[in-house]
Amino acid sequence: MPDIGIGDQITTAWWPAAVEDEDATDLVVTSTAFIPGTSPCDVTFTASRTGRAAVCVAGNWTQASAGNRIFISYEVYLGTSAAGTLVRSARSGFGISDNGATGGSLEQGWGNMTMIEGLTPGATYFARVVHMTEAGTTSTVTHRRIIVFPLP
């Protein structure tokens, strides 16, 4: 892929818009499988001509007791909703995990970024934040964010 130079013609599929969503709803995390929760945090985006995009996930959470880890990740579907074909399933390694802070329900937060590739240029995709716990009901997500932007 050539670099973009001054005066070059830009077509939409080259550099579609970066998108972001965030949600500050407190969600008690009880599921031991990745779920989006009752207050979604998601985006729809257009794949660039390279078929590559960066996905950033960030969050804040509390844990009533240290031990059971919380996981925050994301999944990507073809189309405008989770009804489409799943093209990137949630994995703990594509997100964030934490096992809580000494002292109880202390809010902590940070993020992670991964690349997805092999997307169909110009196609519309749906990406959403999902979360889970490995056991127990000790965690609450307090803030979630997802950003998707095209990569060269």
Residues of this chain that bind another protein (CB under 8 A)? 4-12, 15-18, 20, 22, 24, 56, 58, 60, 66, 99-104, 106-113, 143, 145, 147, 149-150
Which one, 6 or 33, has the nearer CB to another protein? 6
Other CB atoms within a 10 A radius of the CB of residue 33 amount to: 8
Residues in Cβ contact with 140 at an 8 Å cutoff, skipping those fewer than 6 apart: 26, 27, 28, 29, 61, 62, 63, 105
* Cα 99 from Cα 65, distance rounded (Å): 9
Other CB atoms within a 10 A radius of the CB of residue 1 amount to: 9
Q: How far is the CB of 30 from another protein (least distance, A)?
A: 23
Which one, 58 or 127, has the nearer CB to another protein? 58
Which one, 11 or 137, has the nearer CB to another protein? 11
Q: How far is the CB of 20 from another protein (least distance, A)?
A: 4
Q: How far is the CB of 33 from another protein (least distance, A)?
A: 25
- The amino acid sitting at 64 is A
